[in-house]
Amino acid sequence: RKEVEQDPGPFNVPEGATVAFNCTYSNSASQSFFWYRQDCRKEPKLLMSVYSSGNEDGRFTAQLNRASQYISLLIRDSKLSDSATYLCVVRTRSNDYKLSFGAGTTVTVRA
């Protein structure tokens, strides 16, 4: 079983729509969680960290469900510029800085 699993999509949504997707992780001892964004043929860039209480950054809302071991990302009022692959990233052991990546969920926002 993969350490981090994501629905690859693609999620094709019109501008202004809300889109949400999850990722599941297998290691219950995982301690920190992130969403990264990766544009085509580019490096990943941090979108937001995901805290236990959930957190919001503008149009982006992230939630963590430890009991069910999943993380979600919700994008409101989608923009064309939100089209990208969103990577779910999990740190499974403290103090060693290793990150485990999901394969990504592709979102395409159309005009």
* Site residues, another protein (CB under 8 A): 4, 8, 31-32, 34, 41-46, 49, 87, 91, 94-104
Interatomic CA distance for residues 18 and 5, integer angstroms:
22
Of 8 and 54, nearer to another protein (C-beta) is 8
Of 42 and 79, nearer to another protein (C-beta) is 42
Of 70 and 76, nearer to another protein (C-beta) is 70
- Burial label for 9, CB within 10 Å (0-12, 13-18, 19+), is middle
Of 32 and 108, nearer to another protein (C-beta) is 32
Minimum CB separation of residue 66 from another protein in Å reads 15
Minimum CB separation of residue 76 from another protein in Å reads 24
Minimum CB separation of residue 106 from another protein in Å reads 9
Using H for helix, E for strand and C for coil, what is the string for 56-73?
A: EECCEEEEEECCCCEEEE
